[in-house]
Structure 1
Amino acid sequence: MRLMPGSIRGRMLALSAVATLVALLVAGFLIAAVLGRVVTQGVDRRLDAQIALLATAVGDDGSIDRTRLDGLRGALEAGPGWRWQIVTPDRTLGSADFPALELGPPGPHGERGDRGGPPRPREGSEADGTPVHARQVTLSTPAGAVTLSASAPNSVIQRPIREAAVPLLGLLALLSLLLAAAALVQIRYGLRPLRALRDAVADIRAGRMRAVPEDQPAELQPLAQELNALGRDNQAALETARASAANLAHALKTPVATLAIELRDHPEHARQVERIDATIRHHLSRARERVTDRHARVLVAPAVADLARTVSRLNAGPPVDIATTVAPSLAVAVDPADFDEIVGNLLENAVRHAEGKVAVTAARIGAEVSIAVTDDGPGIAPDQMARAIQPGVRLDERGEGHGFGLAIARELSELYRGGLTLARAEGGGLMATVRLPIAAERDE
C-alpha cells in the first residue's frame, strides 16, 4: 500500500498537513498545560489565604480560638465545595464533610507531612469519588503538631480551563486553515519554476525552442544546464546520423542507377537491380526518418531565391527566367539540406524542360505549406505522371539525368509526412506541387 502521494505537490501537502497537525497538537497541549498551571496557582493562592486565616485562630501554645473561628466561617466557606480543617493532637475542627487527602511525600527525616514552611499541595476525593484540590501546612506548637488544611472542588480548576478551551480550539482551527492556505500558496508558487521548466521541455520537443532557459532558481539551474547539454549532444549525434544516411544515399544512388540503365535489356537482371534499389531506399528511408530533426526550420522565400540563382547559373541550356512568389514569413519544419534537395530537384527538372519560364509559388494551406514549381515546357501526359515519380524512370531521354530527381523529392517530402503531386499547368507545361509541414513559431 502506497502511503505517500505520487506527485511532489501531494507529498509537500501531506508533509505540511502532518507537520501542521503535530505543531497544533503540541501547541494546544502546551497552552492547556500553561492555562491549567495559571488557574491552579490562582486557586492555590486563595486556599493559602484561607490557611493564613486559620492560622490566626491557633495560639502560640497550640490552643484553638473558637470565637475567632466562628468569625472566620464566612470567609472560609466561600462557596459549595470549599472546606477547611484544623487537626490537633486531641481534636479535629472544620467542615463536617472534609474530604480525605492523600499523604504528602516523605520529609527530610522520613516523616510524612510538612513541618513549617509554606503550604503544600494535596490531592484527595470526596465520598462519591469527586476529586478535590487542597493545600496543607503543619505547625509545630508546645502542645504538638497542628495541621491546617483548606480544599476546593476540582471543578473550580477544570471549569475555567474548559471555558478557555472552546475559544482556544476555535483559534487553533482558524490558525490551521490559515496555515493550510499559506501552504497551498507556498507550494503553488514554489513549484512554478518546475512547471515552467516542463513547458520549456515541451516547447523543445515541439520545435518551438532549442534550449531551456538557464535563468532558473539555484536548485533547478544545474538541471537546466544538463538538459541543454543533453540537447546539444543529441543534436550532434543527429547531425552525424543524418550525414551518414545522406552520404550512403548519394554513394549508392548513381551506381545503382547506372547499373539499371546498363541492364535494361536484360529483364531478369534488371528486376534484381530494382529489388536492390527498393531495399536500399526502404532502409535509407527508415534510417532518415528516425533521425529527422523536429527542430529544423527553413524560411521558404530566401531558400527558394538561393536555389533559383544556383540553378540558373548551372543551367547549360537556353536561358530560363525563374519567377518566385513566396510570402517572406512562410517557414517549413524541414532540414535545410533536405529542403534544398526537394525544391532543387523540382527546379532542375523544370528548367531542363522549360521553354523559357519557370514559376515558383508558395502558400499556407492548413498545417502545411504548398510549394508549386511550374514550367512552360511540353509537360507530361496524365497517364505517365504516376511513372514519372518512380525511381530511375526517364520519360525524356534528352540531356543528362538518371530519372531520380522527382523520386527523391517525393521520398523526402513523404519522410516529413508531406507529399508530391504532378499536374498539367494552365499553359500546357508541368506543375509539380510539394507539401511540407509548416514550422511552429520559435522563441529563440
Structure 2
Amino acid sequence: MKLHSIKLRLMALSAIWVIGSLAASAIVLQYLFVSSLERDVRQDLEAALTRLVALLDEDAPQNGLSGPLPDPRYETPLGGRYWQIEVPENQALLRSRSLWDTVLPVTSNQATTGHFEHGDEWHIIYVARTIATGGQSVRLTVGEDHGPIHEAARLFLWDTARLFALLGAFILIAAWFQLRLGLVPLDKLRTAVDAVRQGQNSRLLGRFPTEVRPLANEVNALLEEREANMERARQRASDLAHGLKTPLAALHGIAVRVREKGNERDADLIDDLAFEMSKRVDYQMRLTTLRLRKSEHRESTSLNNAVLRTIAVLKKTGRGEALHWLADLSQDHQVDIHRQDLMELIGITLENAAKWASTRVTVRSTVIGANATIEISDDGPGVPEERLPQLGRRGQRLDEATSGSGLGLAIASEILALNSGRIEFRRGDTGGLVVALTLPLAPH
C-alpha cells in the first residue's frame, strides 16, 4: 500500500470502519436473536409449568400427576422437554421419563429461570417455581434443550454474515466511487499545476470547490510574487549591466592615453581587464534578454531557416570565407523556441566551430520522436575525451592561448536549459569537436 496516498488511506479507514461496524452489528443481532428465542422458550416453559401445577395431586404430590403432559417429548428419554418435582421436607423427587437418571440442580425457593449443562453435549434452559400445597412446599421445574436455539443462532449468524459480507462489498464499492468523485478537484488542481509547470498557463485556471479554492488562490499569489521577483531581478541585472558599460568605455579610453604615454604593458593590462568585464556584462545582458520570454508562450521557429541564414552571414566574415560549409539538413521542422533564441544558439555554436575548424564545418539535422537534433562538427584539433565534460561551463576555457572569454558555449547551454533542450559534446570521426543540440518540436 502506498502510505502517502490519501485515496488509499481513506479507503483503508473506510474498510476498517465498515468491517468493524458490520461485525459489531452481527454480534448485536446475534445476541438479540438468541435473547428473543430464549424469551419465547421461557414463555412456553412458563405455560408448561402452569399446566404442571394444575396436574399435581393435591393430596399426595409425591405420587405423581393426575395426568400426563400433552407433549410426548416428556416421555422420551432425553427427548428435549423435561419436568421435575421436588418436596424438600421428605426429599421426595419425581421426574419426567425424559430426564432419565439426571437431576436438575435447582436450589432456589423463588421463581427463577436458568441454564443447566451436563457434559459437553447437554445444555437445557429451565423455569422453576416453588408453591405450597397440602401444607408443604413443592418445587417444580420445567426445562427444554438449548440445542435447537444454538443451531438456530448458528444458522442465523451464517445467514447474517453472508448478507453483511454482500452489504459490506456494496458499501466499500460505493465508498471507492465516492472517494474518486470527492478527489476529482485535487486531480483538477494537479492538472492545473502541471499546465503551469509545462508553460501552458501562467496561473491555475478553472473552478475549484470551496475547500480547494483557498489553496489555488495561494498558489496563484505565489506565482504572481515569483514572477514579480524575477522581473525585478532581471531589471536590476539589466540596470547593472548598462551601468557598467560607461565605466568600461572610460577604461578603454584610459588605456589609450596610457599607451600614448609609452606604457604599453599597463595599457594592455587595462584593455584585457576591460575586455573581460565587457564580455561578462554582455553575457548577463544576453541571458536577461533570453529570460524575458514568458513560460506560457509556445513558439514555432524554422530550424533549417535559422541554420541557413546564420551560415550565410558567417560566410561573409574573414574566417568564414576560408572554410567549406556543408549543410546536410533533413525536412524542415518547427522547433519550440523563440526565433531570436534559436538564432543566438545557432550563431554561437557555428562561430565556435568556425573558430576551430581547419577547412570544413558540417551541419546535420535529424528528428527522433518529439525532438529535433542538429549536429555541428568541425575538422579542427578537437577536445580530449577527458576534458569534454568541462565544455559549456561558465568561463571555462580549454585553450588559454586563443582569444575569447569561454562564455559562448555556456550561453548556448543556458538557452537550451531555458527551452527544455540539451547540449552534448563528443569527438568527431575526423578528430574535431561535435556539438549536438536537441530541441523539442513545436506543438501542432
Summarize deviations over 1:225-254 as a string: whole Å, max 9, x none.
Answer: 111111111111111111111222222245
CA distance in 2, matches of 1:268, 1:56: 135
> How does 1:12-161 map onto structure 2 within 5 Å?
12-59=10-57, 63=61, 66=64, 68-70=66-68, 72=70, 74=72, 76-77=74-75, 80-88=79-87, 89-90=89-90, 91-95=92-96, 96-101=100-105, 103=107, 112-114=108-110, 120-126=112-118, 130-161=122-153
User: For 1:139, what is the secondary structure of its paired residue?
Assistant: strand
Question: 1:271 maps to which residue?
Answer: 272
Partner of 1:168: 160
Amino acid at match of 1:221: R
State the distance in 1 between where 2:241 and 2:287 align: 12
Q: Residue deviations 1:383-435, cap 9 Å, x none?
A: 99659xxxxxxxxxxxxxxxxxxx9999877643279xxxxxxxxxxxxxx99
Q: Could you tell me whether the CA contact under 8 Å between 1:57 and 1:65 is conserved in 2?
A: no
* 1:364-443 correspondence runs (5 A): 364-368=333-337, 386=355, 415-417=414-416
- CA deviation after TM superposition for structure 1 residue 207, in Å: 0.8
- Shift in alpha-carbon separation, 1:247–1:219, aligned structure 2, 3 A: same
Over aligned residue pairs, what C-alpha RMSD do you find? 4.2
The alpha-carbon deviation at position 71 of structure 1 amounts to 5.8
Counterpart residue type for residue 149 of structure 1 = T
Amino acid aligned to 2:234: R
Q: Kindly indicate whether the alpha-carbon contact (under 8 Å) linking 1:76 and 1:82 is maintained by their aligned counterparts in 2.
A: yes
Confirm whether residue 210 of structure 1 aligns to residue 202 of structure 2: yes
Residue 131 of structure 1: how far off its partner (Å): 2.7
| Corresponding residue SS for 2:225 | helix
Offset of residue 154 of structure 1 = 2.0
Q: Mapping of 1:265-414 within 5 angstroms?
A: 266-281=267-282, 295=295, 297=297, 330=300, 364-368=333-337, 386=355
Residues 241, 288 of structure 1: CA spacing in aligned structure 2 closer, same or farther, 3 A cutoff?
farther
Q: What whole-Å deviation, never above 9, does each CA across 1:326-366 have from its counterpart, x for those lacking one?
A: xxxx479xxxxxxxxx9xxx9xx99xx9xxxxxxxxx8534
Q: Distance in 1 between matches of 2:39 and 2:298?
A: 86
Select the residue among 208, 212, 218 that pairs with 1:220: 212
Using the size of structure 2 for normalisation, the TM-score is: 0.62
Aligned residue type for 1:278:
K
Q: Tell me, in whole angstroms, the C-alpha distance in 2 between the residues paired with 1:385 and 1:283.
A: 24
Q: Secondary structure at the match of 2:66?
A: helix
Distance 1:160 1:298 in 2: 74
Question: Is the contact made by 1:62 and 1:144 (CA closer than 8 Å) also made in structure 2?
Answer: no
Cα distance in structure 1, aligned partners of 2:233 and 2:161 = 69
Quote how far apart the aligned CAs of 1:64 are. 6.3
Counterpart check, 1:5 vs 2:6: no
Q: Which consecutive unaligned segments of at least 5 residues does structure 2 have? A: 260-266, 318-331, 344-350, 357-405, 422-436
Q: Secondary structure at the match of 1:416?
A: helix
The match for 1:189 is: 181
Q: In the aligned structure 1, how far is the partner of 2:269 from the partner of 2:129?
A: 127
In structure 2, what is the Cα distance between the partners aligned to 1:276 and 1:236?
A: 28
Give the distance between the partners of 2:352 and 2:9, measured in 1 at CA. Answer: 67
1:228 counterpart letter in structure 2: N
User: Would you say the 8 A contact 1:86–1:147 is kept in 2?
Assistant: yes
Does the residue aligned with 1:69 lie in a helix, a strand or coil? Answer: coil
When residues 281 and 438 of structure 1 are mapped into structure 2, their CA distance, relative to the original with a 3 A threshold, is: farther
Give percent identity, aligned residues only: 22
| Letter of the 1:245 counterpart | A
The answer to whether the 8 Å contact 2:301/2:337 transfers is: no
Post-superposition shift, 1:141? 2.6
Which residue identity is paired with 1:177? A
Q: C-alpha displacement at 1:54, in angstroms?
A: 0.6
Deviations 1:247-291 (A, max 9, x none): 2222224543564477477433322222222344456677888x6
8 Å CA contact retained: 1:214, 1:225: no
Structure 1 match to 2:193 = 201
Q: d(CA) in 2 for partners of 1:224 and 1:385?
A: 51
Q: Partners in 2 of 1:216 and 1:65 — Cα distance?
A: 90
Kindly indicate whether the alpha-carbon contact (under 8 Å) linking 1:212 and 1:224 is maintained by their aligned counterparts in 2.
Answer: yes
Moved more, 280-289 or 176-185: 280-289
TM-score with structure 1 setting the length: 0.62
